[in-house]
């Protein structure tokens, strides 16, 4: 149902972002993927996405800490694929440390990638969506856009900010056929979660098993990790015509965490 539409997904070389790209391409959308990683692996993903969609798939390695590269990414998407009709603000990083030990450069990087990049994306993409009279903006927030956890000052601040930013854009675009929503997953088993285990072990003096069972899944009543595919399925629904009245929402996919 997305044939002829173009989706630009930040941070889509891995994890949830890659799952969004696969789900949208499977519905025929052109996709622009973005993020870091092994060049050959990214090219293989890009080629597979293009094959699945029957349209086009491109890769752009724009660093989400660089506003000028974000503007260029949106422009390139418009020039080479059209749109963007669907923008998914998804790039994100995590860092775990006590407030008094939290490195300033990690604070700055998390605010830039997890929050400010979404501003720069929407700033550049909304004019094209208004012109087209149709648009879907989805921000991957987090359960941490609704509640806090210790040792995640920058992440929790950025995700609360992203939720507010997305709501604001929803109000500004409501009469233009555009919707803007957050999807807020609980713990999804991706490299981002896997990589924070050693730091959490250190910060809290716990074993790997204790971090997985007593810290991560402790918050999640289902006692199961969410999957990237479950998150992507909700994004796909938000792109449907039936979802046109869902805007300014922050939709939890968190196994009951924030209940």
The partner residues of 188 in beta bridges, in order of sequence, read 226
Kindly state the smallest distance separating residue 135's Cβ from ligand NAD, in Å: 20
Q: At 86, which helix (H) or strand (E)?
A: strand 86-89
Of the residues 11, 84, 161, 255, which one makes contact with ligand NAD according to CB under 6 A: 11
Q: Which stretch binds ligand NAD (CB under 6 A): 31-39, 79-87, 163-171, 172-180?
A: 31-39
d(CA 102, CA 84) in angstroms, rounded, equals 36
Closest C-alpha to 8, from 29, 26, 27: 29
Kindly state the smallest distance separating residue 116's Cβ from ligand NAD, in Å: 11
Burial class (CB in 10 A: 0-12, 13-18, 19+), 135: buried
Annotated active-site residue in 59, 95, 128, 155: 155
CB 250 within 8 A of CB 146: yes
d(CA 227, CA 16) in angstroms, rounded, equals 8
- State the binding string over 126-155 for ligand NAD (x if CB under 6 A, else -): --------------x-x-------------
Of the residues 132, 192, 201, 243, which one makes contact with ligand NAD according to CB under 6 A: 192
Q: Please state, as a whole number, how many other Cβ atoms lie within 10 Å of the Cβ of residue 12.
A: 28
Of the residues 2, 9, 16, 126, which one makes contact with ligand NAD according to CB under 6 A: 16
Of 10 and 53, which has the nearer Cβ to ligand NAD? 10
Residue 185 interacts with ligand NAD (CB under 6 A): yes or no = yes
Q: Which stretch binds ligand NAD (CB under 6 A): 33-41, 49-57, 171-179, 206-214?
A: 33-41
User: Which residue's structure tokens are 């390695």?
Assistant: 61
The three-state secondary structure class of 11 is: coil
- 155 noted as active-site residue: yes
Kindly state the smallest distance separating residue 89's Cβ from ligand NAD, in Å: 8
Report 198-257 residues binding ligand NAD (CB under 6 A): none
The partner residues of 8 in beta bridges, in order of sequence, read 32, 87
Q: Which stretch binds ligand NAD (CB under 6 A): 60-68, 71-79, 170-178, 241-249?
A: 60-68
Q: Please state, as a whole number, how many other Cβ atoms lie within 10 Å of the Cβ of residue 79.
A: 8
d(CA 43, CA 51) in angstroms, rounded, equals 12
Binding residues with ligand NAD: total (CB under 6 A):
30
d(CA 169, CA 126) in angstroms, rounded, equals 9
Binding site for ligand NAD (CB under 6 A): 10-17, 34-37, 63-65, 90-93, 113-114, 140, 142, 185, 187-188, 190-193
Residues involved in catalysis: 155
């Amino acid at each position: 149902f997305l044939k002829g539409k173009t989706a630009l997904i930040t941070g889509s070389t891995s994890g949830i972002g890659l799952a969004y790209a696969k789900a949208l391409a499977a519905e025929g959308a052109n996709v622009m993927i973005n993020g870091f990683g092994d060049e050959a692996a990214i090219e293989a993903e890009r080629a597979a996405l293009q094959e699945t969609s029957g349209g086009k798939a491109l890769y752009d390695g724009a660093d989400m800490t660089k506003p000028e590269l974000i503007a260029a990414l949106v422009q390139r998407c418009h020039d080479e694929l059209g749109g963007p009709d669907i923008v998914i603000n998804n790039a994100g990083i995590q860092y775990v440390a006590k407030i008094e030990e939290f490195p300033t450069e990690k604070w700055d990087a998390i605010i830039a990638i997890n929050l400010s990049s979404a501003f720069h994306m929407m700033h550049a993409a909304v004019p094209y969506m208004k012109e087209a009279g149709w648009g879907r903006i989805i921000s991957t927030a987090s359960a941490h856009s609704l509640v806090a956890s210790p040792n995640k000052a920058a992440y929790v601040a950025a995700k609360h900010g992203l939720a507010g930013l997305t709501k604001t854009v929803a109000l500004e675009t409501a009469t233009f056929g555009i919707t803007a929503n957050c999807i807020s997953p609980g713990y999804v088993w991706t490299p981002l979660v896997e990589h924070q285990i050693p730091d959490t072990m250190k910060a809290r003096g716990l074993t790997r098993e204790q971090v997985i069972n007593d810290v991560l899944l402790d918050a999640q009543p289902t006692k199961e990790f969410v999957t990237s595919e479950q998150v992507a399925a909700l994004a796909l629904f938000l792109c449907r015509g039936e979802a046109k009245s869902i805007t300014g929402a922050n939709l939890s996919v968190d196994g009951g965490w924030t209940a």
